[in-house]
Structure formats: structure tokens, C-alpha cells
Amino acid sequence: MSTLIPFIGDIFAQLQAAADIRILAEIRDGQITGVTGSELLEMVRKARTFIASKGLKQGDRCGLLAANSIRWVAMDLALTAEGLIVLPLYSRQAPAELITMMKDCTPSIICCGDASLRDAINPKWAGAPPQFLFDEIFAGVEGVQLERPQVGSQSPVRIIYTSGTSGEAKGVVLTAANVTFMLERTVERLDQLMAGATGQDRIFHYLPFTFAASWIALLTFLKRRSLITINMDLTKIANDMRAVAPDYFLNVPQLLERMRRAVDGQLWQTGGLPLTIYSRAKGVWARKQDGKPEAGDAMWSWLAKKLVFPAIRKKMIGKNLKALICGSAPLSAETQLWFMMLGIRVLQVYGLTETTAICTMDDPNHVEVGRVGPAIEGIEMRLGENDEIVVRGPNLFAGYWNRPEQTAEALRDGWLHTGDQGEVNATGNWRIAGRIKNLIVLGSGHKISPEPIEGEIAKKLAEAQQVVIVGNGRGYLSAIVTGDLAPGKVQSALDAVNRELPHYKQVRAFVIRSEPFSIESGTLTVNGKLKRDTIAARMKNEIEEMYGVKQAV
């Protein structure tokens, strides 16, 4: 007997139950439009008839190249329901990189959100497979009988290409079982977060659905019959957040840190009593964390909670927020504490594409600052050589597409070697220290994770866009700092950080680069991580100059 993939069947059942309820919306210039559960199912049905008319076989790969939208969601559900393997493609990525991925996994067709995306591919790929625009797909095809393909639990449903920080991206194959297991866990955690709440969850979403964590979040929200409002213009995130007034939403550290700096800047410009109360309250909060309260602290804390913090929360995110969820990269403890000061929980998650996006999730009722929560139920995590995090469980991917050697290197005896360094405390809460491949080995033999040092420098340099530590094989560490900064200010920040570090971890030289590293320049991955090897190659002369002028101490 044929049947839908379990997680797709579950989502379709929830959409049917929400037939007359708005389930998915888009926000443009403050105006929100959306579809009900039945309207989304009808879009999926039309797309399925079009796809079914193309004579594709179960297991064929299909590219999905479009920006976030309601139609993207319907297209993804339709392709998956047809038993096809979806290849999500980031619409802002360079066409050459997208073509490399597609040549690797040979999709049968490419579904494009608009003509500009299609036309960026064709001139650079003579043998490209057929491409169809959403306008044509969602017109549907009359008279096509939809089958329910028999898809096994271990059948691949998705190939997501990793960001490739130090080399060519690899296609991570995720199965129906991987996704079904993960959705059970994420639904449980959000049920815990929203315990006691009534009505439909309100969610704001801006992260690309092409990323594993963003996609898993999307499916989780659909399965819970939440109202998901999609941001359609990244330059208007701040305004859209306020308009939606969400209960919670998924974030990356970069946005949360930008929000914190914006509030600081606005209050400094405003001045007056609000700034005085805010500044005093920040001091009170810092002393509380250090266990060193002073007389008068209670008064300033009370004033801030009554007069200032509620106004900040409402203006920044709206009045309904229960928590912010953050992943993708480590969030600085300083930023997490700042949101906690305002009365906003920041829940962290940790995972890789290879772990179906998630390994750990913060317990909403027990958040430890600087940590990413315990391993989720059903997943095992432990430390291996060099404090590498290794993972075992039903969330592990099937392998890299057409890369058996790299699959065997990553998956050993049933354990995934993540390449991340970490530590776990007595309560089972994990902290991520950095990437093993990013370890800098000085000429002295000292091994140093650059990320913690970069984070400390960034705290002292609010104007800096990025901080990159280099020094592999050298006598000391140096820093590349991007942004519009005065050399004296950079040196002051380094002096402050160096005072707290052992001699071999101190940063002895720096160079300022006015232009930030970016996705467009090829120096950041599509989810904003540093491509360290590329940066080192492009800035070879500047790096050599730092070591040619200064001598190791």
C-alpha cells in the first residue's frame, strides 16, 4: 500500500485541520498577506500535478532555486510529496557555485522562483536541465492523477550542500527517517516553550529556507499549525519584527548583536533620564553576574524594569515575545546576558547539516549562559581526541553525495566526527569552543582556537565588522580587523584583551581592512562563516607584512 512520507503526511493533516486558519504569510512594506491551510494545500496540489506531468521517477533530484516565499514552501512540500529529492539552492549565491553543486548531483529539473534566477544559470551552463518558473508550475496541469509514492524511511529526501569553509561544498544526504525523528524532538521543545499559552503561535522568519536549521524550523512550525510570517526584504527586518510581534523566532548571532548595538546607539542619542537609568541598570546587571552588588542597585533595577526595559522590548520586537532561538554560530555571552537583562530568554541550539541541523537544544526553563543546551533525547554526544565533539543517533545523515571516502572519514563506527571542539559540564550542558580545523599551531607548538580570542576583541571593538586571527606556523598571533576603525582604537582593544591572556595567546600585530568580508566576495560562506583559507590567500601580502615588520617576543 502506497503512503506519503510520514512527516509530509503529518504536515498535510495539520494543514487540513487548519483549513480555514491563516497558516503562512508574507510581509511587504508593513502589509501582511497570507494563505490558509486549505489554500496552501491547493497550491501544493497544483504544483504536484505539474511535476507529475514531467514523468520524473521517485528518487530523481530536483533543484529549487528561489527566495523565501509562500510559493517556495508549497513547492518544497510538493516535490517531497512526489517522492523526489529536493536540492535547495540559495538564491543569493553566485551562479558559478550553484552550477558546481548541480553538476555534482545532476538534477532532472530546476524549479525557479523568477526569470532572473533562471537566466543567471543558462549562459554559464550549456547542458543545464530543463528549468520551469513558479508562474508556470502553480498554474497546474488538468487531468493528472496524483499517486502516493512508496518512500521508505531510509529514502533520501534532500541534498543540502554544506557551506565549505575550507574547500568545495559537499552534498549532505538527509533521509525521511532523519527528518521525521528531528521534527518529533523540535515539536516537543516548542510545546515546552509555549506550555500554558493559548491560541496560535506567531512566528517571524527571515533566515533562508535553504539552510538546514531554517528548513527544519519551517516544518516544525507547519506541524504545530503556527502562523509563520515571512520577511521578504532583509533591509526591513527591524520594522517587520515589530509589525509581526512574534512569540519566538529563529536567529543568527549577527542579528542579535546588531540589535544590541542599535539600542545602545539610540539611547546614547536620546540621552536624558532614559539613558541614565539604562546605564545604571547595566552596571547593576554586571555586578549581579559578578556577585558584587552595591547599595542602590535595587532602585536602579526597579526603575529600569518599570520604565525602560519594557519600552525597549516593545520597540525592538513587540509585546508578545517568549524567547529568541539562536543557532548557526556561537553567541557571545555578553549579548545573551544583555537580552536576559531585558527579560528576554535566548535559547541556543547546536548542530550541523550532517546532524539534520540539530544536536542540542536549550531547555527553556534552564538556560546556562554561553552554553547550547543538552543533547536532545535519543542522541548521544561525547568528546573525542582534541576535545572533538562526536555524535551518534537517528539524526545522522546518510552520507555525502558521491563522496564515499569523505563519508567514511566523517562517519566512523557509527559516530559522526563533527570537527567542532567542545566541553560538557556536570549537568550535561554543552559549550562549543571552536573548529578543530581552525586550530592555529604556533612555531612554539602551542595550539590555539582563534574563535574565543576573536570574540573578546570584537567585544572591545563595536565598530569592527569582523576579526580574524592568523598565525599558523608563526612566532605569534596577528589579527585582521575589518571596518572603519582608527589604528589607536584597535591597539587599545588588543592591549585590553592581551592583559587577560597567556603570552602565547596574545595578539602582537594587526592590519585594518576597510572592506568587510562578504558572501559576494567569496570570503564568507552563504550562512556568514569566515572562509579562513580564502582570506589567508587573498591577504597573503598583508599577513606577510605583519610578520616581516614585527619580531616574535
- Superfamily assignment of 253-319+321-436 in CATH? ANL, N-terminal domain (3.40.50.12780)
Q: What residue spans of 500-549 are helical by DSSP H?
A: 532-538, 540-549
Mean pLDDT of 201-218: 95
Average pLDDT, the chain: 90
Report percent pLDDT > 90 for the chain. Answer: 66
Q: How confident is the model at residue 530 (pLDDT cuts 50, 70, 90)?
A: confident
Q: Is the pLDDT of residue 436 over 70?
A: yes
* Cα(111)–Cα(219) distance, integer angstroms: 20
Q: How confident is the model at residue 2 (pLDDT cuts 50, 70, 90)?
A: very low
Q: What is the pLDDT of residue 45?
A: 96
* The amino acid at 76: D
pLDDT digits (tens, 9 = 90+) for 105-157: 999 999 999 999 999 998 889 889 999 999 999 999 988 888 766 677 788 99
Q: What is the pLDDT of residue 475?
A: 84
**Helix (H, G, I), strand (E, B), or coil: what is residue 142?**
coil
Mean pLDDT of 21-42: 96
The conformation of residue 338, written as its DSSP 8-state character, comes to H
Mean pLDDT of 149-167: 76
| Cα–chain center distance at 197 | 26
Q: 66: exposed, middle or buried (C-beta count within 10 Å: 0-12, 13-18, 19+)?
A: buried
pLDDT digits (tens, 9 = 90+) for 454-493: 989 998 898 898 999 999 878 899 999 999 999 999 999 9
Q: Is the pLDDT of residue 433 over 70?
A: yes
Q: 532: exposed, middle or buried (C-beta count within 10 Å: 0-12, 13-18, 19+)?
A: buried
Q: What is the pLDDT of residue 551?
A: 38
Q: How confident is the model at residue 167 (pLDDT cuts 50, 70, 90)?
A: low
pTM: 0.85
Quick check: 350 and 373 in contact, CB under 8 A?
A: yes
Cell numbers 487531468 label which residue? 143
Q: What is the pLDDT of residue 123?
A: 86
List every span in the chain annotated with CATH 3.30.300.30: 439-549
Contacts for 121 with CB less than 8 Å, ≥ 6 apart: 65, 95, 98, 99, 110, 112, 128, 131
**Phi, then psi, of 510 in degrees rounded to 5:** -155, 160
Q: What is the pLDDT of residue 412?
A: 95
Mean pLDDT of 428-443: 84
Q: What is the pLDDT of residue 347?
A: 95
The shares of helix, strand and coil residues in the chain, as percent rounded to the nearest 5, are 40, 20, 35
**Fold that domain 439-549 belongs to in CATH:** GMP Synthetase; Chain A, domain 3 (3.30.300)
Q: How confident is the model at residue 384 (pLDDT cuts 50, 70, 90)?
A: very high
**Fold that domain 6-195+211-219 belongs to in CATH:** Rossmann fold (3.40.50)
List every span in the chain annotated with CATH 3.40.50.12780: 6-195+211-219, 253-319+321-436
Q: What is the pLDDT of residue 152?
A: 72
Mean pLDDT of 70-94: 94
Report percent pLDDT > 70 for the chain. Answer: 96
pLDDT digits (tens, 9 = 90+) for 265-287: 889 888 899 999 999 999 999 89
